[in-house]
Structure 1
Amino acid sequence: MTTTAAGDTHATLAFDGVLFFPVTPFTPAGEVDVDVLTAHVAGGVEHGAGGVFVACGTGEFHALSLGEYEQVVRAGVAAVAGRVPVIAGVGGAIGQAAEMIRIAESAGADGFLLLPPYLVNGPQDGVARYIEEIAARTSLPVIAYHRGQGALTLATVERLLALPNLAGIKDGVGDVALMQQFVAAARRRGRDDLQFFNGLLTAEASQASYTAIGVPLYSSAAFAMAPEIASRFYAAHRDGDAATQARLLDEFYTPLIRLRDTTPGFGVALIKAGLAASGVAVGGVRAPLSDPTPEQVEELAAILAHGRKLVSA
Structure 2
Amino acid sequence: MALFKGAGVALVTPMHEDGTVNFEVLESIIEEQILGDTDAIISVGTTGEAATLTEEEHIEVIAHTVKVVNHRIPVIAGTGSNCTDSAIYLSKKAEEVGADGLLLVTPYYNKATQNGLYQHFKAIAESVSIPAIPYNVPGRTGVSIEAKTMAALYHDVENIIGVKDAGGDVGKTLDLMRIVDEDFCLYSGEDGLILPILAAGGVGVISVLSNVAPKETHEICAKWFSGDIEGARKEQLRALPLIHALFSEVNPIPVKAAMNLQGKNVGPLRLPLTEMEKEHREVLKEEMIRYGILK
TM-score normalised to the size of structure 1?
0.85
Deviation at 1:288, TM superposition (A): 2.2
Q: 1:163 Cα deviation (Å)? A: 0.3
Q: Which residue of 2 aligns with 1:6?
A: none
- Counterpart Cα distance in 1 of 2:170 and 2:8: 19
* Alignment partner, residue 104 of structure 2: 114
Asked if residue 246 in structure 1 is aligned to residue 219 in structure 2, the reply is: no
Quote the Cα distance in structure 2 between the aligned partners of 1:248 and 1:242: 10
Which of 285, 291, 295 in structure 2 is aligned with 1:301?
A: 285
8 Å contact from structure 1 (residues 145, 169) kept in 2: yes
The aligned counterpart of 2:209 is: 222
Q: Give the percent of matched residue pairs that are identical in Structure 1 and Structure 2.
A: 25
Distance 1:185 1:271 in 2: 35
Letter in 2 for 1:219: I
After alignment, is 268-277 or 240-249 more displaced? Answer: 240-249
How far is the alpha carbon of 1:179 from its aligned partner? 1.4
Q: Is the 8 A contact 1:101 1:138 kept in 2?
A: yes
Aligned partner of 2:78 in structure 1 is 89
**Who is 1:9 aligned against?**
none
SS at match of 2:156: coil
Q: Distance in 1 between matches of 2:248 and 2:205?
A: 23
Q: Does 1:153 align with 2:143?
A: no
* 2:263 counterpart SS class: coil
The letter of the residue matching 2:255 is: I
Residue 230 of structure 1: CA displacement? 2.5
For residue 231 of structure 1, report the CA deviation from its aligned partner: 3.5
Structure 1 residues 159 and 300, CA gap change in structure 2 (3 angstroms): same
Question: Could you list the runs of 5+ residues in structure 2 that have no partner in the other structure?
Answer: none
Aligned equivalent of 2:175: 181
Shift of residue 23, structure 1, vs aligned partner: 0.2
Show CA shifts across 1:264-306 (max 9, x none).
x1x3111111111111111122222222134433332221122
Judge conservation of contact 1:143–1:166 (CA < 8 Å) in 2: yes
Which residue pairs with 1:196 in the alignment? 186
Change (3 A) 1:79 1:14: same
The root-mean-square deviation of aligned C-alpha atoms, in Å, is 2.3
What CA deviation, in whole Å up to 9, does each residue of 1:188-234 have, x standing for no partner? xxxx432111112xx2x322222222114112211112224333444
Instruction: Look up the equivalent residue of 2:267 and give its one-letter code.
Output: G
Aligned equivalent of 1:123 = 113
Which shifted more, 29-38 or 279-288?
279-288
Deviations, residues 94-113 of structure 1 (Å, cap 9, x unaligned): 22112212221121001100
Aligned to 1:72: 61
Runs of at least 5 residues in structure 1 that lack an aligned partner in the other structure: 1-11
Q: Establish whether residue 60 from structure 1 lines up as the match of residue 60 from structure 2.
A: no
Tell me how many residue pairs correspond in the alignment: 289
Structure 1 stretches (4+) deviating beyond 6 angstroms? none
**Structure 1 residue 26: Cα displacement:** 0.5
Distance in 1 (alpha carbons) for counterparts of 2:63 and 2:2 = 19
Aligned counterparts of 1:199 and 1:49: Cα–Cα separation in 2: 16
- What are the equivalent positions in structure 2 for 1:3-14 lying under 5 Å apart? 12-14=1-3
1:165 aligns with 2:152: no
Q: Tell me whether 1:34 sits opposite 2:23 in the alignment.
A: yes
Instruction: Specify whether residues 309 and 241 from structure 1 end up closer, same or farther in structure 2 by C-alpha distance, changes over 3 A only.
Output: farther
Structure 2 partner of 1:23: 12
Q: Say which is worse superposed, 81-90 or 206-215, in terms of deviation.
A: 206-215
Contact map agreement 2:19 2:269 (CA 8 A) in 1: no
Tell me the CA shift for residue 247 of structure 1: 6.3
Partner Cα separation in structure 2 for residue 136 and residue 170 of structure 1: 19
Relative distance call for 1:242 and 1:220 in structure 2 (3 A) is same
